[in-house]
Structure 1
Amino acid sequence: MTQDGTSTATSSTTKVSVLTLTSMVVGSMVGAGVFSLPRRFAQETGVLGALVAWAVAGAGMLTLALVFQRLAVRKPELDAGVYAYAKAGFGDFTGFFSAAGYWASACVGNVTYWVLIMSTLGAWFPALGAGDTVLAVALSSVGLWLFFLMVRRGIKEATAINRVVTVAKLVPILVFVLLALLVFDPAVFAENLRGADYTGSLFDQVRGTMLVTVFVFLGVEGASVYSRYARRREDVGRATILGFSSVLAIFASVTIVSYGVLPMAEIAELRQPSMAEVLGAAVGEWGSTFVAVGLVVSVLGAYLAWTLMAAEVLFVAAKDRDMPRFLARQTDRDVPVNALLLSTALSQVVLVVTYFSEDAFDFALDLTAVTSLIPYLLAAAYAVRLRVTRETYDGASASTLRGDLVVAVLATAYTAFLLFAAGLDLLLVSFIVYAPLTVLFAMTRREQGRRVFRPAELVAFLAVVLVALTGVVGLGAGWISL
């Protein structure tokens, strides 16, 4: 299951064309984050910085997509998810750490959906604010558990609306770009070219946009999942490049055309979803309403399927004996009920925390992005390790060896840069999420009658706890804010 709610499982093994494969790749990456792009970029950078940022993010995420594609081909037996690469390359605890981060990212990402829905409705019901009021948190909590009950009844209902969701999200995006171009003001665009008085150097501007680009590209690893449906093996690479290029064009277009509608300082102050607000400023209230309706339908559908994906991460890990066995329990309708319950509970905790943050949506978005980075970094590092040791490369040509090394190194360097761009504060907060989850690792080892930590694992665990405690102290002292 991918970010937009596209199921990665089918009931048929029918081979598909490059075009169909490309559409599957596009569907896996275009999610709710695109509706927030105008404000997030305007808060950090002008037109030039945005162009550089999308070039960097596009090149970096493409290398990451290619890494996942090549790992799927070279290690087809590692099909338990992204964390399987970390476990194979760097041991059980590192694999668990990756699985926990990937799962936490999915759960926190679910919170962004509810905050965005409430913020959207807040345009008509002021008591909901920007999704960060007591009423908004309460209604979001009700929605969270209603969806838990719905999914618990069975997954068929959750996957039946994928086509509606895809149309609901793509139509408003395309209409937004076309209408923004019709009212495009070259003078406003020129004023936004180099940034505003509140933006820093070009490097700082680009760095400030990196987390939102990670968020909107979540699901990039899904492209490799579709390889078994390709008519020809080379079609996977073509679909990856075509699909990724299409998604990049959509994201960049939404960002850039906004700079021709309003001064960036005004865009930076808009409520989320800022795409609706920009269109409202361009063509009137009907434009804002049009995008808002499409967003709510899209986000509810995406949330439904993303909820399943979060539970699936725990369930698959438990089936592989990398999580406690109670998480592998299914209902008679094949719903991983305990994994679903734990996922919903974590989303509930994060939802409450957003109430105390300065900006609920941005906090949830940034935390989603940063918790996904360590699993991505470990997967890219595993690709480097495979290439350096030449495992699975027997008989490979010199060009293949060289190309795979370049791609893996660039993907590793890019994800490492993203961690730097995230900043120390967010990293410390993410470890506050990571540290308590190691209880699941201890439970798993106890169930298997194994020593909880080997010496090296104990050192790693203590390091995680130390970083998490530093984050707690920082929050208490006030030098870290949510």
Structure 2
Amino acid sequence: MTADKATSGTQKVSVLTLAAMVVGSIVGGGVFTLPENFGDATGVLGAVIAWSIAGLGMLMLAFVFQSLAVRRPDLDNGIYVYAQAGFGNYAGFNVAWGYWASNVVGNVFYLTFAMASIGAFLPGLGQGNTVPAVLLASAVVWLLHVMISRGVRQATIVNRIVTIAKIVPILVFVVIAAVAFDAGVFGDNLWGGKPHTAESLFDQVKATMLVTTFVFLGVEGASVYSRLAQRREDIGRATVLGFVSTLALFASVTLVSYGVLPRSELAHAEQPSMGVVLKSVVGEWGGTLIDLAVIVSVLGAYLAWTLLNAEVMFMPARTEVMPRALARQSGNGTPIAALVTTSISVQLFLLLVLVIKDALNFMLKLDTALALVPYLLVAAYAFKLTLTGQTYESADAGRRRRDRAVAVLAISYAIFLLYAAGTRYLLLSCLIYAPGTLLYLRARRERGQPGLSRPELLGCVLLWSAAAVAAVFLATGALQL
């Protein structure tokens, strides 16, 4: 099936719908954990620096996606195809595979968080890690699977409605917390009880990096849905609009919390910690409101990410990157084979929740670590274009220099995040990345194409070596889930 035939019958969506997909993808469960995550790691000063770094870094990535959407309008489903165009099929596959795996893990986070919040109303669900919680989460997986299989267009409409429904309680929280803001408490939280040194401040900021990145995952949502856009320019506009809106929201949630409760109380607040902050101001109904908001938000985010993840497997399967079976569509244009694969994988990862001690924190950090390589390679491709001059005219020298600076900043941010992720999550990521090579080799055989080139073989050996180290460390207890 050609790209034209695959997309000719697909209904296009507006820039606002694309922006809603970005916001819907970004605003999930992470925002409701920010008061505790930041309170445990740092004070006001560290939080301001952390959001400044995260905001600048993710904005550079957003600009990268915006630039590539315009400069390479022939490339759809950008999160993998840019790496493929810049660094070959194996790189493109690993970006698609890693990004897909990241989303699967993120969906397990959302479901676990939702079950923990529902546990405030139904006994037996615990922190989302009990057998009843996993059974209920499994029912949600397949209920939403059926909804999405009815058609992408219908699901995106539901996603827009859910996005609005989950933003309102967060705005209510920000307004109420701002009214109750205590300058004295805010001042006491300035350093967060940490030593007043540059080294301490650096460590505090570093400790927040995976959290800030996690809450911004999804900034590329409009790029992934590029085949649904009415105009190519809408992709960049939706990306920047969605990013700026969520940055303002996340920073506001964090900073107003420092003006309500001491850092020591924020650091030990139960999740969703936003509910603890609001409850301290208005009473029990504040906690109930946030619990309900979490349920709506994370289930909405699950819907958005499942939509996106089906696209991530479907589009590469139409080329030489993924096996052809994953390109199968239903009668209404839904990428049904990719959707089934995604739902089954989420179901399998849900079983891990029963054996992992701190499932929410583990899934959050693993999700983020898996997404870092895709972001790095996309930024590297944007940088490569500025070096080769491809897509640039001779009169575009100024624009080319600006795009190069943006790409360098985006690459630097992604490398810093890899450093902040730490050895544990990088090794676990390799353990997930490596087996994907088998799918890639199958896709190559289906098309009668050679497997791995010499540079790709070297990369494959390094990847499998790291995976082997991770497996040995897991077996000996040196590395734990």
Give TM-score scaled by structure 1 length: 0.90
Q: Does structure 1 residue 46 correspond to structure 2 residue 43?
A: yes
CA 1:312–1:397 in structure 2 vs 1: closer, same or farther (change >3 Å)? closer
Aligned residues: 469
Q: Please give the alpha-carbon distance, in whole angstroms, between the structure 1 residues aligned to 2:371 and 2:195.
A: 29
Once the two structures are TM-superposed, the CA of residue 228 in structure 1 deviates from its matched residue by 5.9
Q: Counterpart in 1 of 2:4?
A: none
Q: Tell me if structure 1 keeps the 8 A contact 2:159–2:303.
A: no
Q: Counterpart in 2 of 1:210?
A: 209
The amino acid of 1:187's aligned partner reads G
**RMSD between aligned residues:** 2.6
Give per-residue Cα distances to partners, 1:399-441, cap 9 Å, x unaligned: 2122111111111111111111111110001111111222211
Once the two structures are TM-superposed, the CA of residue 350 in structure 1 deviates from its matched residue by 2.1
The amino acid of 1:164's aligned partner reads I
The amino acid of 2:350's aligned partner reads L
CA 1:25–1:363 in structure 2 vs 1: closer, same or farther (change >3 Å)? closer
Once the two structures are TM-superposed, the CA of residue 186 in structure 1 deviates from its matched residue by 2.5
Secondary structure of the structure 2 residue equivalent to 1:201: helix
Once the two structures are TM-superposed, the CA of residue 146 in structure 1 deviates from its matched residue by 3.1
Once the two structures are TM-superposed, the CA of residue 197 in structure 1 deviates from its matched residue by 5.5
CA 1:240–1:137 in structure 2 vs 1: closer, same or farther (change >3 Å)? closer
Q: Counterpart in 1 of 2:285?
A: 286
Q: Please give the alpha-carbon distance, in whole angstroms, between the structure 2 residues aligned to 1:109 and 1:241.
A: 22
Q: 5 Å matches for 1:56-135?
A: 56-135=53-132
Q: Does structure 1 residue 36 correspond to structure 2 residue 33?
A: yes
CA 1:135–1:437 in structure 2 vs 1: closer, same or farther (change >3 Å)? same
Once the two structures are TM-superposed, the CA of residue 295 in structure 1 deviates from its matched residue by 2.4
Q: 5 Å matches for 1:300-379?
A: 300-379=299-378
Q: Does structure 1 residue 136 correspond to structure 2 residue 133?
A: yes
Q: Please give the alpha-carbon distance, in whole angstroms, between the structure 1 residues aligned to 2:254 and 2:10.
A: 34
Give TM-score scaled by structure 2 length: 0.90
The amino acid of 2:360's aligned partner reads F
Provide structure 1 residue ranges, at least 5 long, that are not aligned to the other structure.
Answer: 1-8
Secondary structure of the structure 2 residue equivalent to 1:160: helix
Provide structure 2 residue ranges, at least 5 long, that are not aligned to the other structure.
Answer: 1-8
Identity of aligned residues (%): 52
Q: Does structure 1 residue 178 correspond to structure 2 residue 175?
A: yes
Q: Please give the alpha-carbon distance, in whole angstroms, between the structure 1 residues aligned to 2:231 and 2:311.
A: 24
Q: Tell me if structure 2 keeps the 8 A contact 1:106–1:306.
A: yes
Q: Tell me if structure 2 keeps the 8 A contact 1:115–1:132.
A: yes
Once the two structures are TM-superposed, the CA of residue 109 in structure 1 deviates from its matched residue by 1.3
Once the two structures are TM-superposed, the CA of residue 366 in structure 1 deviates from its matched residue by 1.1
Q: Please give the alpha-carbon distance, in whole angstroms, between the structure 2 residues aligned to 1:133 and 1:73.
A: 47
Q: Please give the alpha-carbon distance, in whole angstroms, between the structure 1 residues aligned to 2:38 and 2:405.
A: 30
Q: Tell me if structure 1 keeps the 8 A contact 2:21–2:156.
A: no
The amino acid of 1:400's aligned partner reads R
Once the two structures are TM-superposed, the CA of residue 152 in structure 1 deviates from its matched residue by 3.2
Q: Counterpart in 1 of 2:246?
A: 247
Q: Tell me if structure 1 keeps the 8 A contact 2:163–2:300.
A: no
Once the two structures are TM-superposed, the CA of residue 66 in structure 1 deviates from its matched residue by 0.5
Q: Tell me if structure 1 keeps the 8 A contact 2:17–2:160.
A: no
Q: Does structure 1 residue 55 correspond to structure 2 residue 52?
A: yes
Q: Please give the alpha-carbon distance, in whole angstroms, between the structure 2 residues aligned to 1:480 and 1:332.
A: 46
Once the two structures are TM-superposed, the CA of residue 144 in structure 1 deviates from its matched residue by 1.8
Give per-residue Cα distances to partners, 1:239-286, cap 9 Å, x unaligned: 755553332111001011111222222222222222122211221110
The amino acid of 2:38's aligned partner reads F
CA 1:129–1:381 in structure 2 vs 1: closer, same or farther (change >3 Å)? same
Q: 5 Å matches for 1:124-203?
A: 124-196=121-193, 201-203=200-202
Q: Please give the alpha-carbon distance, in whole angstroms, between the structure 2 residues aligned to 1:351 and 1:265.
A: 32
Q: Please give the alpha-carbon distance, in whole angstroms, between the structure 1 residues aligned to 2:184 and 2:39.
A: 17
